[in-house]
Amino acid sequence: MAITGTVMALFVLVHMIGNLKAFQGPEAYNNYAAWLREIAYPLVPHEGVLWIMRLVLGPCLILHVAAGLTLWRRGHLARGAFRRRGMRRRTLGARSMIVTGILMLVFIIVHLLDLTIGRLVAPGGFLAATHSNGELTAFAYENLIASLSRPPMALFYSLIMLLIGVHLAQGLWSVVNDLGGTGGRLRRIGLAIALAVALAIAVGNGLLPLLVLSGVIS
């Protein structure tokens, strides 16, 4: 669970950094989207690196969910018939990991349907990337604006980013323990890194739909 969670957290962090291209305007964002599809071409086919990433992240997601359900079931069975008392109260992040995890899974499905497959984008419709004269033209910026211009989607996106921040803060800090880090200094460094990554993703991604909705990015 620690390994798969770390892999996905790194992807989300890199994805957030890429999303910051939207602040530079449509040309920068669309060029970035086109570059993602052309990485290492012709060494690998068009979108080859993207598919490699999907083939890595897909199993990571499945294994992460399976590990989470397994740990939850083991913990539930180990509780016994009597309520334990005098234990240290768990943090909000620890208590909400299952709920935030389920909501993140729902968001992944919605996000893929919305901006990758193009089944939910409105009102202008989904614009797929096109090839012309050997060059790839992406319309990621237009699709992003069309999606996040809808208040329900923008608010849903921002809310999920806050929940992802909570989930990552708890999860990444737990990675230090899960991988054997027991020293006090190492645990403090791990906590600082976890909070920094979680805050960066929550703010970086969470502000984007609000800025689109308010017209600052259009």
Overall average pLDDT of the 192-204 stretch: 93
Helix (H, G, I), strand (E, B) or coil at 20: helix
Q: How many Cα neighbours within 13 Å face the side chain of 30? A: 16
* Ranges of H-type helices in the chain: 2-19, 26-38, 48-78, 92-95, 97-111, 140-148, 151-178, 184-214
Tell me which of 121 and 51 has the higher pLDDT: 51
Predicted TM-score (pTM) of the model is: 0.87
* Cα–Cα distance for residue pair 90/172, rounded to 1 Å: 16
Domain range list for the chain: 2-214
Q: How confident is the model at residue 91 (pLDDT cuts 50, 70, 90)?
A: confident
3-state secondary structure string across 77-120:
HHCCCCCCCCCCCCCHHHHCHHHHHHHHHHHHHHHHHHHHCCCC
Instruction: Please enumerate in sequence order all residues whose Cβ is within 8 A of that of 164, keeping only pairs 6 or more positions apart, or say none.
Output: 12, 100, 104, 107, 198, 201, 202, 205
Partners of 93 in the beta sheet? none
Report whether pLDDT(82) > 80.
no
Check whether the bond before 42 is cis (ω within 30° of 0): yes
Q: How many Cα neighbours within 13 Å face the side chain of 134? A: 2
Q: Tens digit of pLDDT for each residue in 16-66? A: 999 999 999 999 999 998 898 888 888 888 889 999 999 999 999 999 999
Which of the 8 DSSP states describes residue 133? T
Instruction: Please enumerate in sequence order all residues whose Cβ is within 8 A of that of 195, keeping only pairs 6 or more positions apart, or say none.
Output: 169, 173
Q: Tens digit of pLDDT for each residue in 157-170? A: 999 999 999 999 99
